[in-house]
Chain A
Amino acid sequence: MSARATAATALRVLTQLRRDPRTIVLIVGVPCLLETLLKEIFAGRPGVFQHVGGPLLGLFPFVSMFVVTSVTMLRERVSGTLERLMSMPIGKLDLLTGYAAAFALLAVVQATLVSLLAFGVLDLHVAGPRWGVVALAVGNATLGMGLGLFVSAFARTEFQAVQFMPAVVLPQFLLSGLFVARADMARWLQLVSDGLPLTYAYEALAEVVRGGPYSGRFSIDVAVTIASTLIALGLAAATLRRRTD
């Protein structure tokens, strides 16, 4: 591991993002728009917004970072820069942690701005600490990033990479318990749900939204989310090959 290579890579990725202000506006603006819409469509049943708004706030960064990193890494593969890096003195983990640092920083900005809107303007209430929602959001961003880096290895074009979003992300959303309580799902769906990282990410958020007392379940949810992130990054590292055909 080299701190210099990691820092250089994070700085490089951030510079690339800065060159693309439209993407940054979309990353911050779209969740703001969706939170607002969510509040408005359930104007007659404010309980729904209060129930779903918090967890959704913590899950947006997962989706955004999944898409952004899978496309960024795919570009890196297609443009030949990855091949150049693999012929240079940089470790795979240096590259991945550089990516992680840059996108986590972007997630901090995204989650902070969206929560300012949700808590400040839209009157969203959570029983637990607000910073807890933001912290979990940043963690989920890193999970989305790890999965995005991993699946980018299976995409040949940006079009395919974008299609992985509904394929990998939406089923996890549907089964996480956000829309239908897991207890109300068929047994086999519960079992599938048990195997998906977003289920634990959602559960942790839901506990913060409900407020204490925090059960042992909360620590398990957070631990599983972190472990999933590390596994995803490990899998992503395995797809970075120095030697290719």
Chain B
Amino acid sequence: MTAVAVRGLRVLRSGTLVLDGLSLEVESGLVTGLLGPSGSGKTTLMRSLVGVQRVAGGTITVLGEAAGTPGLRRRVGYVTQTPSVYADLTVRENLRYFARLLGAPRARVDEALAAVGLGRLAARVVGRLSGGEQARASLATALLGAPELLVLDEPTVGLDPVLRRDLWDTFHRLAAAGTTLLVSSHVMDEAERCHRLLLMREGRLLAAGTPAELREQTGADALDAVFLRLIEARG
């Protein structure tokens, strides 16, 4: 099953072509890692999938509908790279607000807080939290509506290793329950924890496959080396 199908996606941002005829697929119920150096177009692709990016051409089908259709706003959760929560509200107030917009039951707030390990800090004002805690608050809001597709832009940046492992466990738990996850990262050791990988560079898809497939294809062992070989093979 395909959750997301992108065909010939072209995106211009302030005059430069950021995505140039990008085509890719994201499979349902898996954790797909979107990897690539910063500036490779990962964020632009994610913004296009959730329908907040103006696109110049191509088609994007998300869960059977064109990206950005109103019906999808309830079925897709999106977490931006910089935490997008209200700094002057507490964690719980933020979650309550977004839960009300989604029509999610109140109990979901506590579940989302638990999923990101923020239960203890729920009554704290977001602006007073550390960067990692703010990122988790932002992530928690995306879990409220129990979306079918979760689009997470670098959700683990600046988190300590224990928390990162816990979050990746959460991602796998969500995937096991049927949620499709697209998670961007530029940390190669996180790639190991993905079912499938999409490697991007300079607005194009360099390779797609499971970590094992990509290793086999390139003959390299570490994913860093896999990435390098793929780049070199392209010339």
Interface residues of A (CB under 8 A from B): 4-5, 7-9, 11-12, 15-16, 19-20, 79-81, 83-90, 242-245
Partner among B82, B87, B97, B141 whose Cβ is within 8 Å of the Cβ of A8: B97
Q: Say if the beta carbon of B225 comes within 8 Å of chain A.
A: no
Asked, given contacts A12-B97, A80-B84, A84-B141, whether A89 binds B52 with beta carbons under 8 Å apart, the answer is: no
Quick check: which of B25-33, B68-76, B172-180 contacts chain A, the rest being far away? B68-76
CB neighbors of A among B15-71 (8 A): 50-55, 68, 70
Partner among A11, A85, A89, A245 whose Cβ is within 8 Å of the Cβ of B54: A245
A87-B78 in contact (CB<8A)? yes
Partner among B14, B84, B100, B101 whose Cβ is within 8 Å of the Cβ of A79: B84
B93-A4 in contact (CB<8A)? no
Partner among B76, B82, B85 whose Cβ is within 8 Å of the Cβ of A87: B76
Partner among A4, A89, A245 whose Cβ is within 8 Å of the Cβ of B13: A245
Contacts of A79 in B (CB 8 A): 82, 84-87
Partner among B13, B14, B50, B101 whose Cβ is within 8 Å of the Cβ of A5: B101
Write the nearest CB–CB distance from B187 to chain A, whole angstroms.
22
Query: A16 vs B87: C-alpha distance in the bound complex, in angstroms?
Result: 9
Asked, given contacts A4-B103, A80-B80, whether A15 binds B98 with beta carbons under 8 Å apart, the answer is: no
Interface residues of B (CB under 8 A from A): 12-14, 50-55, 68, 70, 73-74, 76, 78, 80, 82-89, 93, 97-98, 100-103, 125, 141
Q: Taking each of B12, B84, B89, which has the highest tally of chain A beta carbons within 10 Å of its own beta carbon?
A: B84
| Chain A: CB-nearest residue to B55 | A243
How many A-B Cβ pairs are below 8 Å?
Answer: 81
Query: A36 vs B230: C-alpha distance in the bound complex, in angstroms?
Result: 74
Contacts of B80 in A (CB 8 A): 80, 83-84
Q: Taking each of A20, A83, A87, A88, which has the highest tally of chain B beta carbons within 10 Å of its own beta carbon?
A: A87
Contacts of B93 in A (CB 8 A): 12, 15
Asked, given contacts A5-B100, A19-B125, A89-B73, whether A243 binds B68 with beta carbons under 8 Å apart, the answer is: yes
Query: A11 vs B86: C-alpha distance in the bound complex, in angstroms?
Result: 13
| Chain A: CB-nearest residue to B70 | A89
Question: Could you give 13 example pairs across A and B, Cβ below 8 Å?
Answer: A4-B101, A12-B93, A79-B84, A80-B83, A80-B84, A83-B52, A84-B141, A87-B50, A87-B76, A89-B70, A89-B74, A242-B52, A243-B51
Query: A13 vs B88: C-alpha distance in the bound complex, in angstroms?
Result: 10
B84-A8 in contact (CB<8A)? no
Known: A84-B98, A88-B98, A243-B52. 6 other contacts (CB 8 A): A5-B100, A12-B97, A81-B84, A84-B84, A243-B53, A245-B53
Asked, given contacts A81-B85, A84-B80, whether A244 binds B101 with beta carbons under 8 Å apart, the answer is: no
A15-B54 in contact (CB<8A)? no
Contacts of B68 in A (CB 8 A): 242-243
Query: A243 vs B54: C-alpha distance in the bound complex, in angstroms?
Result: 5
A8-B78 in contact (CB<8A)? no
Partner among B55, B73, B88 whose Cβ is within 8 Å of the Cβ of A88: B73
Write the nearest CB–CB distance from A44 to chain B, whole angstroms.
45
Query: A4 vs B73: C-alpha distance in the bound complex, in angstroms?
Result: 16
Query: A186 vs B123: C-alpha distance in the bound complex, in angstroms?
Result: 59
Q: Taking each of A9, A20, A83, which has the highest tally of chain B beta carbons within 10 Å of its own beta carbon?
A: A83
Write the nearest CB–CB distance from B60 to chain A, whole angstroms.
12
Contacts of A16 in B (CB 8 A): 86, 88-89
Partner among A20, A89, A90, A244 whose Cβ is within 8 Å of the Cβ of B53: A244
B84-A244 in contact (CB<8A)? no
Asked, given contacts A83-B80, A83-B84, A243-B68, whether A89 binds B101 with beta carbons under 8 Å apart, the answer is: yes
Partner among A15, A86, A245 whose Cβ is within 8 Å of the Cβ of B89: A15
